Amino acid sequence: LQNTSDLMGSLNLKKSYLFLDEIQLLRNLPTVVKYLIDHYKVKCFLTGSASYYLKNLFTESLVGRKYLFELFPLNFKEFLWFKESNIKLPDNHKTISKPIFDTISNLYEEYLLFGGFPEVVLKKNVSEKKKSLEDIFTSYFQLEILKLGDFRRNKIIRDLILLLMQRVGTKLDIKKLSKELSVSRPTLYRYLSFLEGTYLIKTIKPFSKGRDIEVRKIPKVYLCDCGLANNFAKLDEGTLFENSIFQNLR
144 and 195 inside one domain: yes
Question: 140 in a domain, yes or no?
Answer: yes
96 φ/ψ sector (left φ>0, alpha ψ -120 to 50, else beta): beta
- pLDDT at residue 14, rounded to an integer: 67
Task: Report yes or no on 50 lying in a domain.
Answer: yes
Least confident interval from 121-135, 139-153, 170-184, 208-222: 208-222
Q: Show the domain range for 185.
A: 76-249
Same domain, 116 and 206: yes
Tell me the residue length of the chain.
Answer: 250
Per the structure, how many domains does the chain have?
A: 2
Residue 150's pLDDT is 66
Q: Which residues have C-beta within 8 Å of that of residue 144, sequence separation ≥ 6?
A: 24, 49, 50, 198, 200
Q: Would the pLDDT of 1 be above 70?
A: no
Kindly state the percentage of the chain with pLDDT values over 90. Answer: 46
Tens-place pLDDT, residues 84-142 = 888 877 776 677 788 888 888 999 999 999 999 999 999 999 999 999 999 999 988 88
**3-state DSSP helix/strand/coil percent for the chain, to nearest 5?**
55, 10, 35
Strand bridging mode 201-204 / 220-223: antiparallel
On whether both 153 and 222 belong to a single domain, the answer is yes
Distance CA 130, CA 21 (A): 24
| Among 162, 194, 202, residue whose Cα is nearest residue 73 | 202
The model's confidence at residue 39, banded by pLDDT at 50, 70 and 90, is confident
Mean per-residue pLDDT, 204-210: 75
Confidence (pLDDT) at 213 = 57
Least confident stretch, 51-65, 138-152, 182-196, 220-234: 51-65
User: What integer is the mean pLDDT of 154-175?
Assistant: 92
Q: Are residues 185 and 100 in the same domain?
A: yes
